Amino acid sequence: MLASYRRGKSYGYIKKVEVAVAYKAAEAGGWHPSIRALQKQCKVSWTFVKKVVNEINQYGSPVEPNDIYENRDIPIGPGSKSLDDADAFIIYLLYSEEPSRILSSYVEGLEHIRGTVVSEATVHRFFKEGFPFSAGLYRPNLVSYDKFRPANLQRALEYLTFIAMVDPARIKFGDEKLLKGEEPFLRKVRGNPITGEIPALLTTPDFRNTYTLTGFCGIDTRFPTLFFSVHESNNDATQFVMDVEAAIEIVFFQPGDIFVLDNVVYHVGGENIVWRTGYGLGMGHFYSYYLPDALS
């Protein structure tokens, strides 16, 4: 029966020594060792024997695995045989331009800019292992377009100046979260491989939902620090008044509190117009500070 070896098996240093001993024994016998004969004798592949023979001729003995990695002239890691530092920079540059681009776009961009041809699998593995953070695909943080208008940025500065002079325990925040509806964006974005952050994706404020979560919060632990309610449909001025009155009943609001809200119509219009000068319910007043909706 012919000697055989396990195809595709990776043999360790001990097997390399066994092949080297057989090779040296053949040399000591006065005849040139045959690669095929050593393959059958040691039950390994022809390429494994050839590798051991090359190491013997170059270094005088088989090379241990640690020495191979410490002394090798080429870098190791994902894409190391096809991507250099300049290629890595181009990949990150392409990512910075558009975090939601698909893998084929990186392949095409890299070939166009650098002339480097790689597979989508190489780019995928490079994003997973070649940076400080694994850059997988995530659902994006949606950011409204008008958030960065100059007027809104100026308003943000005014808010920070005002709020810095207020006792933090007297500040309460309120907002709504729309639930259970159509997604305005279904595509995902790739996490930043350098910082690990999930990029924001600019979108329109066109959400279609059937439930709304209203929440108020603060940090004064002497009183309830959280109030929330869930109700059907989107918020309106009447529903918002009901939520505020419910929060007052559980002593969430205290006289002199500053209530920070965005500037949506049901916060400042209709029954809530009184909030511009303060609101009282038999327990003194607390006041609202309105931010533009885009800054909330």
Per-residue pLDDT tens over the stretch 160-171: 888 888 899 988
152, 280: one domain: yes
The residues pairing with 178 across neighbouring beta strands, listed in sequence order, are 212
178 alpha carbon, distance to own chain's centre: 24
146, 245: one domain: yes
Higher pLDDT, 72 or 281: 72
98, 180: one domain: no
61 alpha carbon, distance to own chain's centre: 47
Mean pLDDT of the region 9-19: 79
146, 290: one domain: yes
Maximum average pLDDT range among 56-70, 71-85, 266-280 = 56-70
> Is 77 among the domain residues?
no
Picking from 48, 71, 94, the residue at the C-terminal end of a domain is 71
Identify the pLDDT of residue 5: 44
pLDDT above 90 for 216: yes
Identify the pLDDT of residue 296: 45
159, 234: one domain: yes
The residues pairing with 288 across neighbouring beta strands, listed in sequence order, are 259
As to burial, measured by CB atoms within 10 angstroms (0-12 exposed, 13-18 middle, 19+ buried), residue 26 is: middle
Lowest mean pLDDT among 125-134, 182-191, 264-273: 182-191
pLDDT above 60 for 282: no
36, 160: one domain: no
Distance CA(201)–CA(37), nearest Å, equals 64
Lowest mean pLDDT among 56-65, 76-85, 90-99: 76-85
Lowest mean pLDDT among 23-27, 228-232, 233-237: 233-237
For Cα atoms 225, 227, 228, give the angle at the middle one, nearest 5 degrees.
150
> Is 234 among the domain residues?
yes
Which residues span the domain enclosing 120? 85-130
164, 244: one domain: yes
Cα 19 to Cα 23, 47, 69, 160, 268: the distances in Å are 6, 12, 21, 74, 85
> Is 212 among the domain residues?
yes
146, 251: one domain: yes
pLDDT above 60 for 229: yes
Mean pLDDT of the region 115-123: 86
229, 178: one domain: yes
Identify the pLDDT of residue 285: 45
Closest CA to 259 of 164, 175, 172, 159: 172
Mean pLDDT of the region 196-216: 71
Distance CA(135)–CA(244), nearest Å, equals 42
29, 114: one domain: no
Q: CB–CB of 281/254 below 8 Å?
A: no
Single-letter amino acid, residue 253 = F
> Is 222 among the domain residues?
yes
Mean pLDDT of the region 202-212: 60
pLDDT above 80 for 265: no
pLDDT above 80 for 214: yes
Distance CA(80)–CA(77), nearest Å, equals 5
Maximum average pLDDT range among 47-61, 90-104, 272-286 = 90-104
121, 168: one domain: no
CB atoms under 10 Å from CB of 184, counted, come to 13
> Is 2 among the domain residues?
no
> Is 214 among the domain residues?
yes
Higher pLDDT, 86 or 202: 86
pLDDT above 90 for 8: no
Question: Domains in the chain: how many in total?
Answer: 3
Identify the pLDDT of residue 143: 67
pLDDT above 50 for 180: yes
The whole-model pTM stands at 0.43
Distance CA(16)–CA(41), nearest Å, equals 13
CB atoms under 10 Å from CB of 268, counted, come to 16
> Is 1 among the domain residues?
no
